[in-house]
Amino acid sequence: MLIADTGRLREYRHVETFKRTPLQLFNLPQHFFIPLFQRPYVWREEEQWAPLWSDIRRVAERRIEDPRSTATHFLGAVVLQSNQARVGRLTTWNVIDGQQRLTTLQLLADATSAILADAGDFRLAAQLERLTHNDDVFVEEGGSRLKVRHLNKDRAAFEEVMTAEPPVDHIGLAHRESQIVLAHAYFSRIVEQWLGPVDSEVFAQKAKELATVLVDGLQLVSIELEASENSQEIFETLNARGTPLTAADLVRNFVFQLLAEQGDDMVRAYEEDWPFETKFWAKEVSVGRNLLSRSSLFINQWLVARTGEDVSPQSTFTRFKSYVELETSESMAELLRVIKVQAQQYESWTEAAARSGGSLSRTETAVYRMHAAGVEILKPLLIWLHEPSRKLSEETINGIIDAAESWMVRRQLLRLTGSDLGRIVTDVIAANSLASESELVDRVVSQLARLNVTSTYWPGDEEIRQTLATESAYTRFQRGRLRMILEAAEDEYRKATGQPQIERMGYPIEHLLPRAWAETWPVADRDQAEDRQAHVHRLGNLTLLTRSLNSKVSNSAWLSKRSALQDHNTITLTGRVIKRTETEPWGETLIDERTSELIETLLRVWPVPEGHHGKVVDPQTKAGDWVEIKHLIEAGIVAAGDSIVATHRDFKGREATLTAEGAILLDGRRYASPSAAGAALRQSPTNGWYFWAVRDGRRLRDVRAEFQNSMPADTL
DSSP state for residue 699 in the 8-state scheme:
B
Q: Among the listed ranges 121-135, 356-370, 578-592, 606-620, which one has the minimum average pLDDT value?
A: 606-620
Q: How do residues 295-333 score in pLDDT, each as one tens digit?
A: 999 999 999 999 999 888 888 988 999 899 889 999 999
Check whether 603 has a pLDDT greater than 50. Answer: yes
Q: What 3-state class would DSSP assign to 420?
A: coil
Please confirm whether the linkage preceding 167 is cis (ω < 30° from 0).
yes
DSSP letter string, 315-378: GHHHHHHHIIIII--S-HHHHHHHHHHHHHHHHHHHHHHH-SSS---HHHHHHHHHHHHT--TT
Torsion of CA 532, 534, 536, 539, to 10 degrees: -130
Longest dimension (CA), the chain: 92
Among 249, 226, 358, which Cα is nearest to 299's?
Answer: 249
Higher-pLDDT residue of 188 and 240 is 188
d(CA 265, CA 379): 32
pLDDT at 615 over 90: no
pLDDT digits (tens, 9 = 90+) for 521-574: 888 888 888 889 889 999 999 999 888 887 778 888 888 888 888 876 778 998
**What are φ and ψ of residue 100, in 5° steps?**
-65, -45
List CB contacts of 15: < 8 A, sequence separation 6 or more: 9, 223, 224, 225, 226, 229, 234
Q: Is the dihedral of CA 531, 533, 539, 545 positive or negative?
A: positive
Q: How far is CA 698 from CA 505, 626, 640, 689, in A?
A: 50, 20, 17, 10
- What distance in Å separates the CA atoms of residue 609 and residue 442, rounded to the nearest whole number? 10
Residue 637 sits at φ, ψ, to 5 deg, of -80, -35
C-alpha dist (Å) from residue 523 to 3, 449, 593:
64, 46, 20
| Cβ density class 480-498: b for 16+ within 10 Å, e for less | ebbbbbbbbbbbbbbeeee
pLDDT tens-digit series, residues 39-95? 789 899 888 899 999 989 989 998 998 888 888 888 888 888 887 655 457 788 888
Please give the pLDDT value at position 493.
95
How much is the mean pLDDT over the chain?
87
The DSSP secondary structure of 202-266, one letter per residue, reads: THHHHHHHHHHHHHHSEEEEEEEE-TTS-HHHHHHHHS-SSPPPPHHHHHHHHHHHHHHHTT--H
Choose the weakest-confidence range: 20-24, 171-175, 458-462: 20-24
CA 281 to chain centre: 25
Radius of gyration of the chain (CA): 28
Strand 669-671 relative to strand 664-666, pairing? antiparallel
DSSP state of 649: G
Distance CA(159)–CA(40), nearest Å, equals 14
Determine contact, residues 506/588, Cβ cutoff 8 Å: no
User: Poorest-confidence range of 151-165, 327-341, 388-402?
Assistant: 151-165
Could you read off the pLDDT of 117-136 as tens digits, one per residue?
988 899 999 999 999 999 88
What confidence tens digit (pLDDT) does each residue in 682-703 have?
887 777 887 898 987 788 887 8
> pLDDT tens digit string along 408-428?
999 999 988 888 899 999 999
CB 628 within 8 A of CB 675: no
Torsion angle (degrees, nearest 10) of CA 246, 247, 249, 250 = 120
Given a cut of 80, whether residue 714 has pLDDT beyond it is no
pLDDT of 377 strictly over 60: yes
Where along the chain do its domains lie? Answer: 6-238, 247-463, 468-605, 627-715
Neighbours of 58 (CB within 10 A): 20
Strand partners, 509: 544
- CA distance linking residue 474 with residue 223, whole number of Å: 51
Measured CA to CA, the distance from residue 120 to residue 114 in angstroms comes to 10
**Which candidate, 451, 412, 419, places its Cα nearest to that of 602?**
412
Question: How much is the pLDDT for 191?
Answer: 94
Contact 43, 159 (CB under 8 A): no
What residues have CB less than 8 Å from 670, skipping those under 6 apart?
Answer: 659, 663, 664
Residue pair 289/46 in contact (Cβ under 8 Å)? The answer is yes
pLDDT, residue 86, reads 59
Report the percentage of the chain scoring pLDDT > 90: 47
Q: Which of 183-197, 231-245, 682-696 has the lowest mean pLDDT?
A: 231-245
* Contact assessment for residue 598 and residue 540, using Cβ atoms and an 8 Å cutoff: yes
Closest to 537 in 3D by CA, of 515, 518, 558: 515
pTM for this entry: 0.64
